[in-house]
Structure 1
Amino acid sequence: MATITQEVAIKDARFFSPIGFYPEEQVLGNEFYVDVSVSFPFANPNAERLENTINYEELYQIMVEVMAPKRELLESAAEDILNRLLERYATLEQIAVRIRKQNPPFGGDVSQSVVGLTYQR
């Protein structure tokens, strides 16, 4: 029997956050781009009803809450996003979280550093 999987995603959500290993990064902040993608079984009796899907506005709100406080590592932010999604949505089969830090301050000419986590049921 064939199955249909639905994906809901937010790409390139931009945040200016106090996340960084070095104390000055937590004072000055950095620019980040966050991608979140979730997949779940498409068992939708009415594709025009918001309650039959995952509201991407709720995904964005989770991202806002996680990216706001001071943190040392992006890994903790990615894990926090992933865990909140798992707690909130029992039907998720796959989650991908990617956080890109613009111009990481380690003395090289690097446009981005990236941390990502993927969950697969």
Structure 2
Amino acid sequence: MGTITQEVSLSQVRFFSPIGFYEEEQVLGNEFFVDVSVRFPFENLDAEDLQNTLNYAELYVILQEVMRPKRKLIESAAQAILMEIRTRYLFTEEITVRITKTTPPFGTDSAHSAVCLQYKR
């Protein structure tokens, strides 16, 4: 018999954050979209009990805390999100964090840049 894996995710969570390599980006800020998914074993002890899942409102708070301060690289924000989830939820088996920057400063308004980190136990 196989195992059941549950996934809880947030998609396209929008932030306006002071993250960017250039000082001007840290002053003016940039628009970002964050996607995070967390996979873990499904334990159907009581499907209506929040203790048997991962509260996505708590995931949102983690994203808010990490995306608030100044940073030079979105890689450091992605790593901080991933590490906080790993530390807080020891039962996780897989975590994916993707941060997309909507207008990177290389002369066009139609490009997006993204960083994605994955953890697998």
Question: Where on the TM-score scale, by shorter chain, does this alignment land: which range?
Answer: over 0.9
Identity of aligned residues (%): 63
Number of residue-to-residue matches in the alignment: 121
**For residues 48-82 of structure 1, what are the alpha-carbon distances to aligned partners after superposition, in whole Å with 9 as ceiling and x for unaligned?**
11111000000000000000000000000000000
Listed as ranges, the gaps of 5+ residues in structure 1 are none
Q: Secondary structure at 1:54's aligned position in 2?
A: coil
Q: CA deviation at 1:109?
A: 4.7
Runs of 4+ in structure 1 displaced over 6 angstroms?
none
Separation in 2 of the partners of 1:50 and 1:94? Answer: 20
One-letter amino acid of the counterpart of residue 30, structure 1: N
1:40-119 to structure 2, matched below 5 A, reads 40-119=40-119
Listed as ranges, the gaps of 5+ residues in structure 2 are none
Calculate the aligned-residue CA RMSD, in Å: 0.8
TM-score (norm 1): 0.97
CA contact (8 A) 1:104 1:110 kept: no
